[in-house]
Amino acid sequence: MRWVVELEGQPEDEIESADPIAMVAGNLRDRGLIGPDVQIRTREEDSGLILPISTNLQTKRITFSRDMRALCEDELRFCILHENAHIQLSRRFSIFVCLAILLWIVALILLLRGDAFSVLGAIPMLFLGRMVYGSATYRFELKADYRAGHLMKSEFHVMHPSMVAKSALSHVRELKSDKRSRAEKFLRIIGYKHPKDEVRVTGIAARLDGDVCAVGTTATDSGGQRIGE
């Protein structure tokens, strides 16, 4: 399979010079840090995007909103590497998702039986499924952070990856649409659990910076400039 970097509405030969996201993605591709079958797209219109970054684990497609171009080079690297880590970890993640679904199916069968004993048996199955799914979403988010931070340090010599992560997460949070809160309500019902930004940054600092105090510092990227300025 070939590497694909797409900017919707523009010819392929104009992408590299037109889109900073494509420039960073191309650099990661050249370094072999992104799989050859991963697609990265920049969507000019915001319709359909609940988050500034959307990753389809099945098609291995990472879609960025146009506003993400405002991030600096290291912040974009971190975001792309983080989403790519989710793709790399998708098989292991799917095992936990399938287990949660299996528990919910068992609970549904017990509820459909209707008798009191079955209903009582369904309740722990429902909560166990939520616990498995919530634990998986939480743990794999931190795993993706670590992988991205580790590559930032080993490949791009960023001494404090937590600083870059903190700045990137702050920008992403500012760009999230109002649709996200409605979507999260449903996800949280089934057990979705996302670590707070502070927890994520502290985890990266503790494992990669060697300095938990980095959480309170200001992020600086290796280039010192935002792409396109």
Q: pLDDT tens string for the chain (229 positions)?
A: 233 444 444 444 434 446 899 999 999 999 999 988 899 988 876 544 556 777 888 889 998 888 888 899 999 999 999 999 999 999 999 999 999 999 999 999 999 998 999 999 999 999 999 999 999 999 999 999 999 999 999 999 999 999 999 999 998 888 776 555 566 677 778 888 889 999 999 999 999 986 444 444 434 444 444 333 3
Q: Is the dihedral of CA 50, 226, 202, 60 positive or negative?
A: positive
Residue 185: CA count within 13 A, CB half-sphere? 4
Q: Is the dihedral of CA 9, 10, 16, 19 positive or negative?
A: negative
Q: Is the dihedral of CA 79, 80, 86, 89 positive or negative?
A: negative
- pLDDT attached to residue 172: 86
- pLDDT attached to residue 174: 82
Give, in order, the Cα–Cα distances in Å from 49 to each of 143, 151, 166.
24, 27, 22
Supply the pTM of this predicted model: 0.80
**Cβ contact 122:107 at 8 Å:** yes
Nearest C-alpha neighbor of 163 from the set 32, 54, 72:
72
- pLDDT attached to residue 179: 54
| CA 141 – CA 189 distance, rounded (Å) | 19
End-to-end CA distance of the chain: 34
Nearest C-alpha neighbor of 84 from the set 7, 18, 177, 151:
151
Residue with tokens 């795993």: 143
- pLDDT attached to residue 90: 93
- pLDDT attached to residue 1: 27
- pLDDT attached to residue 175: 78
Instruction: Provide CB contacts within 8 A for 56, sequence distance 6+.
Output: 62, 63
